[in-house]
């Protein structure tokens, strides 16, 4: 396991920002840490990266306890903090040298050139950081996080504030990096985890509310039911639809189109088609209505139960 978090709590004054959080991340996984603002994402990441001590609980990175072995742990971790604090007065190469020196990176000139190439900073590498766009500043942030070749990367909202093109570029760069390193990235945007992460941990008010493969997120709340959008070739009565076992509601969308609510994950397509056929009516189209990502997120972050 790259990261093991056991029962971590963090109290700021009277506020409990983390409330007994546990999860573990195997090596070479790209994990999204998703939650609304104030959920505790940055706090958790500061604890993993040894910038904050936990109030309770235990965190280990590659088998090393963050409290007992903080110097070794920092060498294993690359960290891009939330607001990417860069030295704006420095030139890109100068800054990467400066960070590389702190870590005692051998053959630093070569390493800086490699990093510039790796994150696609080439055309901007001669500039001062203050002259760079937000997207290029994030590339500098990623380069500094990777300069000492860490095993684990912790990226706190790495795409916030980027324009749509920069967003796509930085996401694909993170995906690339994830092929060789363990990456944990935080975000408050559900689309982001779908685009980059194979696993998603959702945190809300200091509690983990979901921890599953990203591909299972949409189906994960299937217990709440799903909806079919169906268009028939002729008029169907609502009562005929409601008679089908498993249908909990039917709403006419105009003409012969209906939105049919179905309990759980049961497949009623055949039953619906047969009912129509008995009335000599055909099904013109039928599709499962995907829950909107926002709806799933809302459902998970307003539920109290652990999942
Ligand atoms: P997120 O990164 O998910 O937005 P944070 O970890 O930054 O959440 O914050 C979690 C909660 O802890 C928030 O309510 C925030 O106001 C509070 N908090 C964060 N840092 C501090 C601090 N240094 N002092 C007091 N409260 C803090
Ligand atoms: Mg944060």
**CA 12 to ligand 1 centroid distance, Å:** 8
What pLDDT score was predicted for residue 266?
Answer: 79
Total of domains in the chain: 2
Hey, which of 38-52, 116-130, 224-238 has the most confident mean pLDDT? Answer: 38-52
Segment 142-152, tens digit of pLDDT: 999 999 999 99
> In this structure, are 261 and 167 located in the same domain?
no
Judge if 200 and 230 occupy the same domain: no
> Do 45 and 93 have their domain in common?
yes
With cut-offs at 50, 70 and 90, classify the pLDDT of residue 293.
low
Is 117 in the same domain as 232? Answer: no
The CATH number of the domain holding residue 237 is 3.30.70.100
- Does 10 lie in the same domain as 64? yes
pLDDT at 288 exceeding the cut of 90: no
Q: What is the pLDDT of residues 155-208, one digit of tens each?
A: 999 998 888 888 888 899 899 999 999 999 999 888 889 889 999 999 999 999
- My answer on whether 175 and 48 are in the same domain is yes
Ligand nearest to the CA of 205: 1
pLDDT of residue 221: 53
pLDDT band at 285 (very low <50, low <70, confident <90, very high): very high
Protein residue whose Cα sits closest to atom 7 of ligand 1 = 42
Strand order in the sheet with 247-252: 247-252, 257-262, 226-232, 283-289
Residue 214 sits in the same domain as residue 261: no
How is residue 57 annotated by DSSP? E
Share the mean pLDDT of the chain.
90
pLDDT band at 216 (very low <50, low <70, confident <90, very high): confident
- The CATH number linked to 155 is 3.40.50.300
Nearest CA owner, ligand 1 atom 27: 12
Higher per-residue pLDDT: 274 or 288: 274
Element (H, E) at 273: helix 269-278
Whether 185 and 268 share a structural domain: no
Q: Report helix, strand or coil for 218.
A: coil
Q: Is position 201 within any domain?
A: yes
Q: Does residue 125 register a pLDDT over 70?
A: yes
Q: Are the C-beta atoms of 169 and 150 separated by less than 8 Å?
A: no
37 domain residue, yes or no = yes
Ligand 2 center–CA 242 separation, angstroms: 47
For ligand 1, pick from 9, 15, 160 the residue to mutate: most ligand atoms within 8 Å of CB: 15
* Ligand 1 contact via 272 beta carbon (within 6 Å): no
Give the pairing of strands 257-262 and 226-232. Answer: antiparallel
Ion ligand 2 neighbours, Cβ < 5 Å: 41-42, 82
User: From atom 12 of ligand 1, which residue's Cα is the shortest distance away?
Assistant: 17
Task: Kindly state whether residues 19 and 123 are assigned to the same domain.
Answer: yes
Whether the per-residue pLDDT at 73 is higher than 80: the answer is: yes
Separation of alpha carbons 133 and 123, rounded Å: 12
Identify whether residues 142 and 249 lie together within a single domain. no
Read off the pLDDT of each residue in 281-301 and give the average, rounded to a whole number. 79
Residue listed under structure tokens 């009335």: 279
- Structural domain for 259, as ranges: 225-290
Who has greater pLDDT, 167 or 24? 24
Is 87 found in the same domain as 37? yes
Q: Is 35 close to ligand 1, i.e. is its CB under 6 Å away?
A: yes
């Amino acid at each position: 396991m790259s990261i093991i978090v056991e029962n971590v709590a963090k109290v700021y004054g009277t506020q409990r920002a983390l409330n007994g959080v546990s999860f573990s991340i195997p090596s070479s996984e790209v994990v999204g840490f998703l939650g609304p603002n104030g959920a505790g994402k940055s706090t958790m990441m500061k604890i993993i990266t040894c910038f904050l001590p936990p109030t309770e609980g235990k965190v280990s990175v590659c088998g090393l306890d963050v409290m007992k072995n903080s110097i070794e742990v920092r060498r294993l971790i690359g960290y891009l903090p939330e607001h990417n604090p860069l030295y704006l007065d420095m030139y890109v190469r100068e800054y990467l040298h400066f960070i590389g020196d702190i870590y005692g990176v051998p053959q630093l000139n070569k390493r800086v050139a490699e990093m510039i190439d790796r994150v696609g900073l080439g055309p901007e590498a001669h500039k001062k950081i203050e002259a760079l766009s937000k997207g290029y500043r994030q590339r500098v942030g990623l380069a500094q996080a990777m300069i000492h070749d860490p095993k684990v990367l912790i990226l706190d909202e790495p795409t916030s504030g980027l324009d749509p093109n920069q967003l796509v570029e930085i996401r694909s760069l993170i995906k690339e990096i994830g092929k060789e390193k363990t990456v944990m990235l935080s975000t408050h945007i559900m689309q982001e985890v779908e685009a980059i992460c194979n696993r998603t941990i959702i945190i809300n008010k200091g509690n983990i509310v979901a921890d599953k493969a990203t591909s299972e997120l949409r189906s994960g709340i299937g217990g709440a039911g799903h909806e079919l959008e169906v268009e028939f070739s002729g008029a169907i009565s609502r009562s005929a639809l409601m008679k089908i076992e498993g249908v909990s509601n039917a709403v006419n969308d105009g003409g012969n189109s209906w939105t049919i609510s179905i309990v759980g994950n049961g497949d009623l397509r055949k039953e619906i088609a047969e009912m129509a056929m008995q009335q000599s009516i055909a099904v013109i189209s039928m599709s499962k209505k995907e829950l909107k990502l926002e709806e799933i997120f809302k459902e998970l972050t307003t539920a109290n139960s652990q999942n």
